[in-house]
Structure 1
Amino acid sequence: MLTAVLVFAIVPAFLILGFGFVARTIAAQRVTPRVVQYSPERGSTVLRDALLVDADRRAASAALIDLAVKRKVRLIAGSGKRKRRPVAVELAPDVALTAEEAALLEALFGREHSGADVRRFSADRRALAGRVKSLLLNIEHALAREGLIADRRVTWPSVTLTVFAYLGMLVEVAFLAVATVAADWPAAIATLVAVAATIATIFVAPPAWRKFLPAATAHREHLAGLRQYIELAEAERLRVLQSPSGAELRATDASGHAAAEADGPAARFHLHERLLPYAVLFGLEREWMAKLKLEYAELGQSSIDTLGGLVDITGDLDLAIEAAGGVAQLAADVGDLADAAGNVIDGVGGAFELFNS
């Protein structure tokens, strides 16, 4: 009995589990950055880059924060004594939105708010989820037309592994029943091990994945280099990479003005604030905001006066989060968006708590 279990249950179970790990590795399509990058590529957008790094769940939240960082919108909270108050977004006066930015705001708030300066998050979960999904799908189609990704996602490995896993479980359940009736406990235990491996396969097998084409490699390497830079936020290497001899820092704001001296605290804050949406994309917002907090503390009054509105992120956005009752409450207020496209302020917001501490 034990031999039959080993041949027809244990070996197949671990074989498909191994294939599951292989498929997951292939699906990741990891790239290695050639150099550390200090800003997004010219002409790129947060939404497009989110799809190029498979960060769909954080795309909408990162793009919203990008609008706030660019001072095109302002997060505001409603009045009242309740801990959970309505959250809205206020458009800056005379702001010029790109077609993609306008589509993002329409997806988040609906067409009924398209002519208003202040827009409130939709209370209709299903409609909100559908609009965000449609927005990302349109961007995915655009990337396919540009030859960066395949027209269709790769589905057959996931389907094949799942089918084999369920067939294996049928065989294993039969073995387990026979072993239990026969009181063959070694065979029963071996069968349970096979069942565990088969269940693990279902979780390990990757879902249908986006296939990146060779034309996307350079873009994805650039984003990997940007992630590497953000990951170095607390490392001493960061200061070396930022030195005048180590790198030429560029501003990434909408105005396109050049950054000040590369090794100055004002220039660092100017650059790093604009990388916050990408820190959100990579799930590194807490570490990055901690870095921003330290850099803000380093700024002298003269630097703050020079930067002017660039340091508003420590003011307007922070006050809005605090007025909403903290990040956790704000996340609850916009929970509809979290269901559709990942954690909006949970991914974004834990960061702002650092300024409230």
Structure 2
Amino acid sequence: MASGSVDLHYVVGIIGLGVVIVGVALLIAALTYPFTRRLPRSLVAHYVPPPGDITQHGFALRANRRVLAATIVQLAVHKKIQVLAPQGKRGPVAMVVIAGAMLTNQEHSFLQSFRPSLRSRRKQEKYVRALADIGIHVQRPEEAPDVYFLKGKGAFRGYQRRALSAYFESAREQMKKDGLTRKYAVSVHLYVLSLLFLTLALFGLIFIIGAAMNGDWLGVGVTVLTMVGVFFALTIAPPPILLFTDQGKELRRHLSGLRDYVRLAEQDRLQFLQSPQGALRTPAGALTPGGQALGLQPQPTAPHALAQAGLDQYVLIERLLPYAVLFRCEREWEREFEYLGTVDATAQNLRALGTTLQTTAAVFEALSVVVQILRLLGAFLSLFRNA
């Protein structure tokens, strides 16, 4: 009986310890969320995005994990790429550069973050097999169109993690140079969670080996689940909290007004565009300041005003689709997606695509912080070795 009592206490103790550790990790993640959800209040609704690129806008909104999906949707609506995605959640997801598309240096750098140079034979064979999975059959990679895999055999996860981390870090550095953010970001919560995960991984590994040798599979299972729980807390924790300058706060205020417009119901948006303040053209066909900012053609291209209004709205919807992703308004904008013709496949699979990319971004971001901590620890330990 005594032995049974000890065993019960042991079971309760180890499970309780695991719950406490995971609970602390989730609490740390939850306490930082209120600081990331606040946006300055905009006095007016904006329907034209502010100057700059969508990566910076995503960081300004602290929507880091939606930047990947938003950037890809933007490339799609600008007719630069086509997204090949399954109807369900399984199967490869890839981007194909449309023939003749003119990519900027930044867009080219973004796409290159998803595919290494393919110099080794092993990578080439893996890439060719991945192409065959989406119906592109070639003997050598250079015979294929420009295809970049987000999911599937052709997704080189290790390379993508490093390359995307570098791409996003360069975007954050550019925001500092542009005077939008201050020099340092607040990442204490991520470092604390990373240290907790690494400490648990170190002692957990030792405990797992000992428990497995003694046949204590319950201890092994609880330890593994605890490590997974702490890593999960790291993936859902807010990204580094950027500190904004007055110029950055003004950008966030503009984005807040854009969010107000995107969140309007469809009928309210139409009424907004038909108002003197929201019209993109005058009744005579001249561009308003909003139409000029949107980049409409100076001369009307439709035979009558009603058709022209539809074309103008089409251009506006295209410009705002990526922001609907950033603002978590995909469901509300489904009807707008139906009118996008050449990017219809992207629209139909946007939810699955967004889920895939958010998960990918969260894991990459968590691993990036863990690697940073390991490097700092390595540098710290090297001081003692050199002393």
Under a length normalisation based on structure 1, what TM-score does the superposition of the two structures give? 0.59
Q: What secondary structure, in the 3-state scheme, does the structure 1 residue paired with 2:248 have?
A: helix
Match of residue 119 from structure 1:
147
Rounded Cα–Cα distance in structure 1 between residues aligned with 2:171 and 2:101: 23
Rounded Cα–Cα distance in structure 2 between residues aligned with 1:227 and 1:272: 14
Over 3 Å counting, the alpha-carbon distance change for 1:276 and 1:162 in structure 2 is closer
Whether 1:287 and 2:315 are equivalent positions in the alignment is no
Encode CA deviations 1:175-196: one digit per residue, 9 max, x unaligned. Answer: xxxxxxxxxxxxxxxxxxxxxx
Give the CA deviation at 1:273: 2.4
Rounded Cα–Cα distance in structure 2 between residues aligned with 1:20 and 1:111: 37
Match of residue 277 from structure 2:
246
Match of residue 340 from structure 1:
360
Whether 1:66 and 2:74 are equivalent positions in the alignment is yes
Rounded Cα–Cα distance in structure 1 between residues aligned with 2:239 and 2:164: 20
Contact 1:104/1:135, CA 8 A, preserved across alignment? yes
Give the CA deviation at 1:289: 2.4
Note the residue ranges of structure 2 that are not aligned, 5 or more in a row. Answer: 1-27, 119-140, 196-232, 281-289, 364-387
Match of residue 237 from structure 1:
268
Give the CA deviation at 1:92: 2.4
Over 3 Å counting, the alpha-carbon distance change for 1:328 and 1:264 in structure 2 is closer
Over 3 Å counting, the alpha-carbon distance change for 1:247 and 1:154 in structure 2 is same
- The equivalences for 1:198-209 within 5 A come to 208-209=240-241
Over 3 Å counting, the alpha-carbon distance change for 1:87 and 1:150 in structure 2 is same
Rounded Cα–Cα distance in structure 2 between residues aligned with 1:232 and 1:150: 33
Contact 1:60/1:132, CA 8 A, preserved across alignment? no
Match of residue 372 from structure 2:
none
Encode CA deviations 1:258-297: one digit per residue, 9 max, x unaligned. Answer: 595598233222211221011011111221222454xx4x
Whether 1:34 and 2:43 are equivalent positions in the alignment is yes
Give the CA deviation at 1:143: 0.5
Contact 1:253/1:274, CA 8 A, preserved across alignment? no
Encode CA deviations 1:161-182: one digit per residue, 9 max, x unaligned. Answer: 999xxxxxxxxxxxxxxxxxxx
- Matched to 1:242, the amino acid is L
Contact 2:330/2:351, CA 8 A, preserved across alignment? no
Over 3 Å counting, the alpha-carbon distance change for 1:162 and 1:227 in structure 2 is same
Stretch moving more, 222-231 or 211-220? 211-220
Q: 2:255 aligns with which of 200, 217, 223?
A: 223
Rounded Cα–Cα distance in structure 1 between residues aligned with 2:238 and 2:330: 26
Rounded Cα–Cα distance in structure 2 between residues aligned with 1:237 and 1:331: 26
Whether 1:257 and 2:277 are equivalent positions in the alignment is no
Match of residue 103 from structure 2:
97
Q: 2:313 aligns with which of 248, 268, 272?
A: 268
Rounded Cα–Cα distance in structure 2 between residues aligned with 1:36 and 1:114: 48
Whether 1:318 and 2:358 are equivalent positions in the alignment is no
Alignment root-mean-square deviation, CA: 4.3
Contact 1:41/1:222, CA 8 A, preserved across alignment? yes
Encode CA deviations 1:197-229: one digit per residue, 9 max, x unaligned. Answer: xxxxx9999664111111212211111111110
The number of equivalent residue pairs is: 260
Rounded Cα–Cα distance in structure 1 between residues aligned with 2:93 and 2:191: 41
Over 3 Å counting, the alpha-carbon distance change for 1:87 and 1:20 in structure 2 is closer
Match of residue 167 from structure 1:
none
Contact 1:32/1:221, CA 8 A, preserved across alignment? yes
Contact 1:61/1:342, CA 8 A, preserved across alignment? no
Give the CA deviation at 1:50: 0.8
Under a length normalisation based on structure 2, what TM-score does the superposition of the two structures give? 0.55
Encode CA deviations 1:235-262: one digit per residue, 9 max, x unaligned. Answer: x432331114131434599975359559
Give the CA deviation at 1:21: 8.7
Give the CA deviation at 1:46: 1.0
Give the CA deviation at 1:331: 6.8
Q: What secondary structure, in the 3-state scheme, does the structure 2 residue paired with 1:275 have?
A: helix
